[in-house]
Amino acid sequence: MNQELINYIKEKLLEEKAHLEKELGQFAQRSEHQRDDFQSTFPDYGDKEDDNAVEVADFSTRLSLEGSLENKLQEVNNALKKITEGTYGFCENCQQEIPEERLKVFPSAALCMKCGSEK
């Protein structure tokens, strides 16, 4: 893989990281103890019984979304780490090179198409 493509992918990954962190920041606060961990905030809509029910439902939704976004953020950070270490672009399962076309579309891919479809 040439350096120009790696730079392009790194830029895409950094943009995705910023987007994910911004999205998480809309309803969660960054943990003081772990770098890429966020804690969803509990909404406060009022003291009425209906308000409380909506708060619980919204908090539940936030927790689910937080987990999904944190997983994506971890994938992006793993890909950036691999770029730094010089191990980017190889399948974590079979160690074969991941096709450049896949990496352009899905820069945080950790598996080739074959291994990804088997999981």
Structure tokens at 35: 């770098």
The answer for residues whose C-beta is within 8 angstroms of residue 97's C-beta and 6 or more apart is 1, 89, 90, 91, 112
Rounded to 5 degrees, φ, ψ at 89 are 95, 10
Residue 112: CATH number of its domain: 1.20.120.910
pLDDT tens-place string over residues 37-95:
788 877 777 777 776 788 888 888 889 999 999 999 999 999 999 999 999 999 999 99
Q: How confident is the model at residue 15 (pLDDT cuts 50, 70, 90)?
A: very high
Q: How many separate domains does the chain show?
A: 1
Q: What pTM, to 2 d.p., does this model score?
A: 0.82
pLDDT of residue 58: 87
- Provide the residue range defining the domain that includes 57: 3-118
**Helix (H) or strand (E) run with residue 46 in it:** none
- The mean pLDDT of 88-105, rounded to a whole number, is 96
